[in-house]
Amino acid sequence: IVFCGVHFMAEAADILSAAHQQVVLPNMEAGCSMADMAAPADVHVAWRELGDLFGSTEDLIPVTYMNSAASLKAFCGEHGGVVCTSSNAVKVLEWAFEQGKRVFFFPDQHLGRNTGHAMGIPLEEMTLWNWRLPAGNLGGAAPEQLERSRVILWQGHCSVHQRFTTTQIEEARERHPDVQIVVHPECRYDIVQAADAIGSTAYIANYVAEAPAGSVIGVGTEINLVSRLAKENPDKTVFCLDPVVCPCSTMYRVHPAYLAWVMESLAAGHTVNQIVVPEEVQAHARIALERMLALR
C-alpha cells in the first residue's frame, strides 16, 4: 500500500492491514503538527498526575482523535480507551461515558470541546491540560477544577483550523447577506458557535453538494478541499473563510516526485520508506481502533 497521506494515517494503515501487506509513505516528512503536540512522555506524566489526584485512573477514559501517533492510540487501547474521528466523536464520547466518569481527550482541544458542548456538557466542566508546563503543575488547572470536570482537554490544535476567526465570519455575512457558513469541528468554539453548520470533511462536502443552485457558502476548513468543492459545484459560490491561503505545511509534502520515486523503487524490487509500527504498539492501538470501528 503506497499511502499518499500523512504519517499517522500510514501508521493506522499498517496497524489495520494484513500481515502480508506493507505500507509505504512517499515522504517521511509528511506529518501533522497537531499529532506532534501529544508526545508519549507528556501523556504519561499527565496520566500519572491525574491518577494521583483522583486516587486512580479507573474512571478516566482516554479518547484520541484519529489524528494522533500510533503510540497515543496504543496508550488509549491499553488504558480502556478508544479512537474517534470528527464524524463519530459524539458516539465515541457517549461510549466513553458509559465506561467511566471522565474523558481525557487528545490531542485536539477544539474537537473535544465542540463535541462535549454538542452533548450538553457545560464549558465549566471541560478543563484544558497545558502539556507545555513542567511536570507537577496539573497542566495548569486547579485541583478542584479538575475534580468537577467531565472532560479534560489536551492543549493541542490544528494549525490550519485555528486560523479561522469570528471577524472572517462577520465579514462574509456583510459581503453576502444570504451566505451559509459551514465549519469543521477542529475550529475554535467561538467559530463553531458563529457558524450555521458544523461537521466533518464528509459532512461539509455533502452540505455543499446538497445546497440548492445559487447558494453562497463560506467554508471553514482546509483550502484545498474548499477549492475542490468550489470546482465540483460550479452552480454555487463556495469560498474559504480565510482569505490568506495558508495550507498545512506538513500535509502537502507528498509530491508526485516522491510518489514516482517509491513506485520506481518498488518496481526495481526495493521497498523504501516503509512504515513499520512495532508489534506491541500495534496490538494496543488495534484495540482502540477496533473499539471505534465497532461503534459505527
Q: Which residues bind ligand SF4 (CB under 6 A)?
A: 6, 32-34, 67, 158-160, 222, 248, 250-251
Residue 60 sits at φ, ψ, to 5 deg, of: -110, 115
CB of 221 to ligand SF4, least distance (A): 9
Which residue number, 14 or 222, has a Cβ lying nearer to ligand SF4?
222
Residue 6 Cβ vs ligand SF4, minimum distance, rounded to whole Å: 5
Q: Are 105 and 112 in contact (CB under 8 A)?
A: yes
Decide whether 87 or 159 has the Cβ nearer to ligand SF4.
159
Rounded to 5 degrees, what are φ and ψ at 113? -65, -45
Instruction: Quote the least distance from Cβ 61 to ligand SF4, whole Å.
Output: 23
Name which of 32 and 287 has its Cβ closer to ligand SF4.
32
What whole-number distance in Å separates Cα of residue 63 and Cα of residue 125?
17
Nearer to ligand SF4, 6 or 198 (CB): 6
| Axis crossing angle, helix 89-99 with helix 109-118, rounded to the nearest 10 | 80
Give the Cα separation of 27 and 164 in Å (integer). Answer: 28
> Given the complex with ligand SF4, which of 160 and 277 has the nearer CB atom?
160
> Which regions of 211-251 does DSSP assign to beta strands (E)?
216-220, 237-240
Rounded to the nearest whole angstrom, what is the least distance from the CB of residue 289 to ligand SF4 in the complex? 18
State which H helix or E strand residue 104 sits in: strand 102-106
Question: Whole-number minimum distance, CB 250 to ligand SF4, in Å?
Answer: 6
Distance CA 200, CA 87 (A): 5
